[in-house]
Chains A and B, each alone.
Chain A
Amino acid sequence: MTCCSASSVPSSAALKHRLDHERLLAASHTTPDGSLQTDFIVPSMHCVGCIRTIERGLADLPGVKNVRANLSTKRVAVQWQPCEDQPIDFLEIFAGLGFEASLFDLEDVSTSARHSGRQLLISLAVAGFAAANIMLLSVSVWSGADAETAQLFQLISGLIAVPACLFAGRPFFTSAIAALRNKRLNMDVPISLAVLLALGMSVHESLVGQHETYFDAAVTLLFFLLIGRYLDHMMRERAHSAVLQLSRLVPTGAIRLDADGAQSYVLVAELSEGDEILVAAGERVPVDSCVIDGFSDLDRALVTGESTSVAAAPGLEIESGVLNLSGPLTLRVSRSADKSFVAEVVSMMEAAEHSKSRYVRIADRAARIYAPVVHILAAASFAGWMIATGGDWHTSIYVSIAVLIITCPCALGLAVPIAQVVATNRLYRSGIMVKDGAALEKLAEVDTGVFDKTGTLTLGTPHVSVIEGGSQTDRALAGMLASLSSHPASKAVAGIAENRAGLLLSDVTEHAGFGLAAVWKNKPIRLGRRDWVAQITTHHAAASSHDQSEVCFAVAGGELVSFRLSDTLRADAVPTIAALRAAGLDLEILSGDGDAPVQVVAAQLGISNVRSRLKPADKVRRIEELQRQGHKVLYAGDGLNDAPALSAAHVSIAPASGSDIGRASSDLVFTGKGLASIMTALSVARRTSTIVRQNFALAIGYNCIAIPFAVLGHVTPLIAAIAMSASSIAVVSNSLRLNLVKHAETPQSAKTAAITPRPITRQPSAPTNREIAK
């Protein structure tokens, strides 16, 4: 068996080329002028030189009309006109320019999120404009303008404030109405009530010629709250786009072999049982299927957690998502896409997510207690004043509005988002992306850490642990030959540094599923599977006595050399595990791999609680069991088989190297090779939680002082405006302390920086400070 016949299985390269082209067309969309627009993600683009190289490199291609690189989102938009006879392989051109690019499907972008961000920013601008103008007018009223001028100014203030509040307050009004419909209370209910009541009251006051109006308070309140709202949105948006940058396009289509021998490109969803498909080397298997022709190796690390590659030969059943490593395969579909392994995992994930969505964020938990108290206080002061003044409803309403405005959770609304945005920025600089603020709150609560093994505690790539037999020359030859292949096992063998000078190989051929062959000094040499390599040795070696995976090498007529492979622990796994234990976490390993490799890793890390050979459902069951016992579980995993567990856990973290589904279903994603990120994330989350609590204490403490004055009717609009701003400033400055303390954390952060040489994006500018200054 040397190679498959060309008619049934075309060369891997041609197949891949064809697939790439079909995917390119599928991911493009037509612009109004008839050309195509295709978006690419280019994560390594980081400076003006990169922009120039890409834009000029692509603009010269035939058919390309316009190229625009966006550095913030790391995307390149290309408008082009496809020519029939000459397909452009954009990804190859990017590679030629020195950039790794991947297709970006426009459908992925949540345009609604982008739209709502823009809407928030416009609301913020309108509120800012209104607040600034009304404040100018108010200053002259407070500093004693004569009656006519004051009344004119109030009228103008009202004319600005009413439309501005109605426009800028929409995010709060809609959220408040939604909450009330569900018979719940959130922060937005007292906010909306205070703004609307204050507006109505002030309009009435200015019409009857009184000077005590709350126009400025209402607008400033909205302005501050919108800042908090926008920061919260920006944090989520950035994490979202950062995760998108990492995602490669999953196979949306496959090459189907039709009955008449023709090949056609079909969408994965259109594949049905019994269809025959071709899968090139380097591609993932799109649906569960059975091998009918071809030999190859399969990487199942992301699917089952197995750390060693598996040989594929006709008759083998393959789950969807498995990576085909070395040779093209013809497969017969055994289950359609909606019944395949990936679909099963996704439905399990959705089930797990459902239970998770019950988490109530700390701000909403505070609101549940706070909002009723505020409403009762306002109502009680209204009733109290009615009785005390003998039915003076004007004064009574006035006092109760003052109470509502003073107690309005302005500082509370800022307390949480500001602290979380600062913490998220801090983590971003260490290469950790946080999906949303809730992830930080939940991370601060965890008491149990559960880890996947392959790809999480380990790097997921094999390295040579033991070399058996062979001379220096043999090893050097093996390394030389291995360096010609991109198979993970070959890469591991190529990594053993030996003196390779003067070695000349000729006639190098790759035998899919078996290994590499070449000729050296007129003698055939082989590197690959034991039984295949043993064919050219003097004595036919017996099957290996150990269950570790291995690569063998031999020169014809010579001795058999065995390179045993094992998975490498991440560089700082040992200190990180120790640090997590010191932080009070119970640790556990759940792996889909066999007992022996799991035990080796567990022993190295000193974790005694270990379970192996677990299916995705078993992992979820174990996590649910822990959570029923009252533990808050942090799950760290990377694979497809971890995705349901990542969704089920209280909070989850995945390495950027993991599967797309794994990243999408986890709350935090860390780039870089080290596990220390987990410890950094945990300590920052815990500190954030402390700061948030301090902020609450500050805001509530301020209320405790101000409320008695408000209830007794001593609060004028001037005092309300000053007091409100003062409490917001106190909360913001307290949150900014999170940025200051990061220097105190040097051992941790220095370590993280050292092992995170290439964070996924450039260090972000500090939007927090800028936003606050605005």
Chain B
Amino acid sequence: MNLLVFLIPIALFLGCLGLAAFIWSLRNGQYDDLDGAAERILDDD
């Protein structure tokens, strides 16, 4: 029970971090050109 007091906030915090990262990347335009991103990685210089 005592452990849960730490573990649950940690779990939720990490989840929130993931959610925030996703929303940030979405607003930042990271998903605007999925096809282009897939191709650009093949450009070596």
- Chain A residues in contact with chain B, CB under 8 A? 47-48, 51-52, 69-73, 118, 121-122, 125-126, 129, 132-133, 136, 148-149, 152, 156, 160, 762, 765
Closest chain B residue to A121, Cβ basis:
B26
Contact of A125 among B8, B12, B22, B33 (CB under 8 A): B22
Q: Is the CB of A122 within 8 A of B23?
A: yes
Residues of chain A within 8 A (CB-CB) of B43 are 48, 51-52
Q: Is the CB of B26 within 8 A of A132?
A: no
> Given A48-B43, A52-B43, A132-B15 in contact, is the A71-B26 Cβ separation under 8 Å?
no
Residues of chain B within 8 A (CB-CB) of A149 are 1, 4
Extra pairs beyond A48-B43, A70-B32, A148-B1 (9, CB < 8 Å): A47-B39, A52-B43, A71-B39, A72-B33, A118-B26, A121-B26, A125-B23, A129-B19, A160-B12
Q: Is the CB of B40 within 8 A of A48?
A: yes
- Tell me the bound Cα distance from A148 to B2 in angstroms: 12
- For this complex, 11 residue pairs linking A to B, each with C-beta atoms less than 8 Å apart, are A47-B39, A48-B42, A51-B36, A51-B40, A52-B43, A72-B33, A73-B32, A121-B31, A133-B15, A152-B4, A160-B12
Residues of chain A within 8 A (CB-CB) of B26 are 118, 121-122, 125
Q: Is the CB of B36 within 8 A of A71?
A: yes
A-B contact count (CB 8 A): 55
Residues of chain A within 8 A (CB-CB) of B33 are 70-73
Residues of chain A within 8 A (CB-CB) of B10 are none
Q: Is the CB of B40 within 8 A of A126?
A: no
Interface positions of B from 1 to 45, Cβ below 8 Å from A? 1, 4, 8, 11-12, 15-16, 18-19, 22-23, 26-27, 31-36, 39-40, 42-43
B17 to A: closest C-beta gap in Å: 11
Residues of chain A within 8 A (CB-CB) of B1 are 148-149
A457 to B: closest C-beta gap in Å: 35
Residues of chain B within 8 A (CB-CB) of A48 are 39-40, 42-43
Residues of chain A within 8 A (CB-CB) of B35 are 71-72, 762, 765
Q: Is the CB of A69 within 8 A of B36?
A: yes
Residues of chain A within 8 A (CB-CB) of B12 are 133, 156, 160
Residues of chain B within 8 A (CB-CB) of A765 are 34-35
Closest chain A residue to B1, Cβ basis:
A149
A7 to B: closest C-beta gap in Å: 49
B1 to A: closest C-beta gap in Å: 7
- Tell me the bound Cα distance from A72 to B38 in angstroms: 10
Q: Is the CB of A70 within 8 A of B11?
A: no
B29 to A: closest C-beta gap in Å: 10
> Given A118-B26, A148-B1, A156-B8 in contact, is the A72-B34 Cβ separation under 8 Å?
yes
Q: Is the CB of B19 within 8 A of A51?
A: no
Residues of chain A within 8 A (CB-CB) of B22 are 125
Residues of chain B within 8 A (CB-CB) of A122 are 23, 26
The 8 lowest CB-CB distance pairs between A and B, nearest first, are: A71-B36, A48-B39, A71-B35, A70-B33, A72-B35, A129-B19, A72-B33, A48-B42
B26 to A: closest C-beta gap in Å: 6
Residues of chain B within 8 A (CB-CB) of A52 are 43
- Tell me the bound Cα distance from A148 to B5 in angstroms: 13
Contact of B36 among A72, A125, A129, A148 (CB under 8 A): A72
Residues of chain A within 8 A (CB-CB) of B27 are 118
- Tell me the bound Cα distance from A133 to B40 in angstroms: 35
Q: Is the CB of B19 within 8 A of A125?
A: yes
Residues of chain B within 8 A (CB-CB) of A132 are 15
Residues of chain B within 8 A (CB-CB) of A156 are 8, 12
Residues of chain A within 8 A (CB-CB) of B40 are 48, 51
Residues of chain B within 8 A (CB-CB) of A148 are 1
